[in-house]
Amino acid sequence: MQTTLPRVTRRAPSGPAAVSLSVSRSGEERRRPRRVVGSWLLHLPLILGGALMLFPFYWMLTTALKGLEEASAFPPTLWPTVWMWDNFGRAWQAAPFGRYLLNTVVVATGQTASVLVTGSLAAYAFARIPFPGKNLLFICFLGTMMIPVEVLLVPDFIILKNLGWYDTYLALIVPWMTSVFAIFLLRQFFLSIPDELWDAAQIDGCGRFGFLWRVAVPMARPGLITVGLLTFHGAWNALLWPLIVTGSPNMRLLQVGLAAFQSDARVQYHLWMAAATLTMAPMLAIFLFAQRYFIDAASRSGLKG
């Protein structure tokens, strides 16, 4: 496709006319370069690609609503002939998904709340309080981001077992109660708070904790939302860690439960898709509700400090 691009290139006007033109345009948006190809040439591949992105969702939902026979019919039907709404109920009953959901909510909420607290506290100290050994400690913190989780699996498993935390919420929550990325990101926010505010707060008799709680945290709200969403999403997504540190079906998180559900031979495809829909739904709902923050979170994690 790229080789055909130059043919439809439109040349931007050059010379003094172009200068006056670009000066008269205001705002970044207008100064973006002109597109290389005509708009239909952009829309066509974008629409095709978008259809590919959405197709799995369509196929998941329509399969989830088919009966057993129709779901495993070949050639497949593109639309359910009979809508089996009770598939969702049956899938939910076929395994203790209610319990899995409860576990997941407890773990995701626990992790998110603690990451926000420990992250804000540490980030605040790194950003605004001078103390001996600060830089060295911060570098050590950043260094732990380099460690792949594979290296931690075995030792943490043994440590958690010795603590008696194996197969408990503690094993799922405590090791992930802080996040270096969260500290890094929130530190950037706290660094950008002008010193004058802290001076003024001191004159008004406000201590460090008061300043953190009443001034710094509210000012870092976008950062806190980003950190919260990423942590919650990560906890909801986790598979490897919960597989290792829990054993009983009662302690399964949603994704572990779903993986176990699909390897269960009795289960049929339409119920797989119903269960997949149900475990996806909360995350998708949060996303549609808080889209801006999700996309912000992704683009923020891409910006170099």
Partner 1 sequence: MARRSAVKLALQSDGAAQGRGAFQAYLYVLPAFVILLAFHFLPIFYAFYISLFNWRIQQGGFTGLANYANALTNPEFWDSLKVTVYYALGVIVANLVLSTAIGYALSQRIRGRVLYRLVYFLPYVTPVVAAALVWRWIFHAQYGILNFGLGLIGVPAQQWLLEPRGVVELLLQPFGVAPPAWLAGPSLALVCIIVFTVWHTIGFSIVVVLAGLANIPGEVYDAARIDGAGSWGILRHVTLPLLSPTLFFLMVVSTIGAFQSFSSIYVMTDPTHGGPLGTTRNATMYIFQNFFEFTRLGYASAVAFLLFFIVLGLTIVQVRVLGPRVHYQ
CB nearer to partner 1: give 60 or 105.
60
Buried b or exposed e, range 94-121, using 16+ CB within 10 angstroms: bbebeebbebbbebbebbbebbbeebbe
Report, in Å, the least distance between residue 283 CB and partner 1: 6
Q: What is d(CA 32, CA 35) in angstroms, rounded to the nearest whole number?
A: 9
Q: What is d(CA 117, CA 127) in angstroms, rounded to the nearest whole number?
A: 15
Radius of gyration of the chain (CA): 26
CA angle 16, 17, 20 (to 5 degrees): 85
Q: What is d(CA 79, CA 59) in angstroms, rounded to the nearest whole number?
A: 9
Between helices 97-128 and 86-94, what is the axis angle to 10°? Answer: 80
CB 83 within 8 A of CB 149: no
Nearest to 180 by CA among 129, 133, 126: 126
Report, in Å, the least distance between residue 140 CB and partner 1: 7
CB nearer to partner 1: give 192 or 299.
299
Residues 6+ away with beta carbon under 8 Å from 223: 185, 186, 188, 189
CB nearer to partner 1: give 90 or 233.
233
CB nearer to partner 1: give 18 or 191.
18
CB nearer to partner 1: give 92 or 269.
269
Report, in Å, the least distance between residue 271 CB and partner 1: 11
For the chain, the residue count is 305
Q: What is d(CA 183, CA 120) in angstroms, rounded to the nearest whole number?
A: 7
Q: What is d(CA 131, CA 9) in angstroms, rounded to the nearest whole number?
A: 58
Report, in Å, the least distance between residue 86 CB and partner 1: 20
Report, in Å, the least distance between residue 109 CB and partner 1: 16
Report, in Å, the least distance between residue 185 CB and partner 1: 13
CB nearer to partner 1: give 180 or 219.
180
CB nearer to partner 1: give 25 or 221.
25
CB nearer to partner 1: give 94 or 153.
153
Report, in Å, the least distance between residue 93 CB and partner 1: 18
Report, in Å, the least distance between residue 212 CB and partner 1: 8
Residues 6+ away with beta carbon under 8 Å from 89: none
